[in-house]
Amino acid sequence: MISPATVPEPVCDPGSVRNTSPAGKATSPVTAPRTLARCRDLVRPSLSAAIARLHPWHGEMAAFSLGWCGVGGTPTDRPSEGKGVRQALAVLCAEAVGVPGEKAVAGAVAVELIHTFSLMHDDIMDGDETRRQQETVWKAYGTGPAVLAGDALFALAVQTLAEVPGPHTAAAVGRLSGTLNGLVRGQAEDLLFSARPWTGPEAVRTDEYRAMAELKTGTLLGCAAALGGLLGGAPARTVAALDRAGRHLGVAFQAIDDLLGIWGDPDVTGKPVHSDLRQRKKTFPVLAALTENSPRTGELAALLHSPVPLDEAGAVRAAALVESCGGRAATLGEARHHLDAARACLRSVSLAPQAAHEIDVLIGFLLHRRA
């Protein structure tokens, strides 16, 4: 959990803003959880129908990965699905360009399938054994099946978009394929970072990390937003602005993830306390801390270079050093900067006020999320 002392004031308090219908009649207040749930409900039938087209074995692994069922296909009592930020962004951006969210559902399904695919494959590459408090797909079903199920989701995402009737199909598929290219490029950089030293001329710089985060996380959020606009028939300038907004959101999202990876509440994130430090992940807070010119950075680097695993005390000390070297504040600044930039992109084009407001509330929520 990001400590309240360092969290900026929300631009809009999720609990206090009221939704105003086109007729001006006040309805239920806009909250990010409510918006996310509304979008998930809108997209869910098409997402389920898409997954039902898969080979049953892959369909089960996809449903397992989405938290809809356990191994063997038994529905879960406690669905542990993600927030669905990507699908929500596609739906909200279609609404923001003045069409019903339904127009963007194929795009929402495609980005959600790509997100699921990328988690499945990334967990193999990173050797991660748990996600959202359950086993990862490769851990539960084996590496080979998880590789193949990921491929199946990838293919299904492209197929879903390629089958959208209307004049925007080729542009939508072109955008998705460019996104996929960016996604794998970002993951490659992330994997290569792990082999580089913490300090010295070969150390990973924060600007390199930001470029990686934009590719790995930003391109898909940008694609989600852009597909909403594109399938909604928006002009190219609006689609480009939505894409840029989504990319900034992605960089901010990654920064918050990095904060939660060190200071997140294990009961909420489902990961051990200080997990990213224990795994010596090269994340923004640590890289930013190491740029400070102080004796503490030497101590931090020594802890990170140590050949033995970090014990509890070591991880606590490393987290304290990252914080005192300014890594935590720099990361929060990074998140705020990119959320502000996302908002500026959205303000640069004409959008339907209601949807634009819901996106704004969602942005505030992302900054304050605890998992």
- Contact footprint for a second copy (CB under 8 A): 53, 55, 57-58, 121, 124-126, 143-145, 147-148, 150-152, 154-156, 158-159, 162-163, 169-170, 173-174, 176-178, 180-181, 183-185, 187-189, 191-192
Mapping DSSP to helix (H, G, I), strand (E, B) and coil, where does residue 264 land? coil
Token look-up 């970090």 returns: 310
Q: Which is nearer to a second copy, 73 or 178 (CB)?
A: 178
Q: How many residues does the chain have?
A: 371
Q: What is the nearest approach in angstroms of a second copy to the Cβ of residue 218?
A: 16
Q: What is the nearest approach in angstroms of a second copy to the Cβ of residue 11?
A: 35
Distance, CA of 25 to CA of 269 (rounded, Å): 38
Contacts of 279 (CB under 8 A, 6+ apart): none
Q: What is the nearest approach in angstroms of a second copy to the Cβ of residue 189?
A: 8
Region of 79 (left: φ > 0; alpha: ψ -120 to 50; beta: rest) is beta
Q: What is the nearest approach in angstroms of a second copy to the Cβ of residue 111?
A: 14
Q: What is the nearest approach in angstroms of a second copy to the Cβ of residue 226?
A: 15
Q: Exposed/middle/buried for 111, CB within 10 Å: 0-12, 13-18, 19+?
A: buried
Q: Which is nearer to a second copy, 99 or 212 (CB)?
A: 212
Region of 178 (left: φ > 0; alpha: ψ -120 to 50; beta: rest) is alpha
Q: Which is nearer to a second copy, 153 or 245 (CB)?
A: 153
Q: What is the nearest approach in angstroms of a second copy to the Cβ of residue 58?
A: 6
Q: Which is nearer to a second copy, 55 or 305 (CB)?
A: 55
Q: What is the nearest approach in angstroms of a second copy to the Cβ of residue 130?
A: 18
Q: What is the nearest approach in angstroms of a second copy to the Cβ of residue 56?
A: 9
Residues pairing with 26 in the sheet: 20
Q: Which residues of 16-32 are buried (b: 16+ CB within 10 A; e: fewer)?
A: ebebeeeeeeeeeebbb
Q: Which is nearer to a second copy, 191 or 236 (CB)?
A: 191
Q: Which is nearer to a second copy, 120 or 367 (CB)?
A: 120
Residues pairing with 180 in the sheet: none
Distance, CA of 161 to CA of 172 (rounded, Å): 7
Q: What is the dihedral of CA 84, 85, 91, 95, to 10 degrees?
A: 140
Which one-letter amino acid corresponds to residue 162? A
Q: What is the dihedral of CA 357, 118, 154, 183, to 10 degrees?
A: 70
Distance, CA of 61 to CA of 156 (rounded, Å): 14
Q: Which is nearer to a second copy, 45 or 127 (CB)?
A: 127
Region of 205 (left: φ > 0; alpha: ψ -120 to 50; beta: rest) is beta
Q: What is the nearest approach in angstroms of a second copy to the Cβ of residue 220?
A: 12
Q: Which is nearer to a second copy, 126 or 340 (CB)?
A: 126
Tokens encoding 134: 């359950």
Q: Which is nearer to a second copy, 40 or 175 (CB)?
A: 175
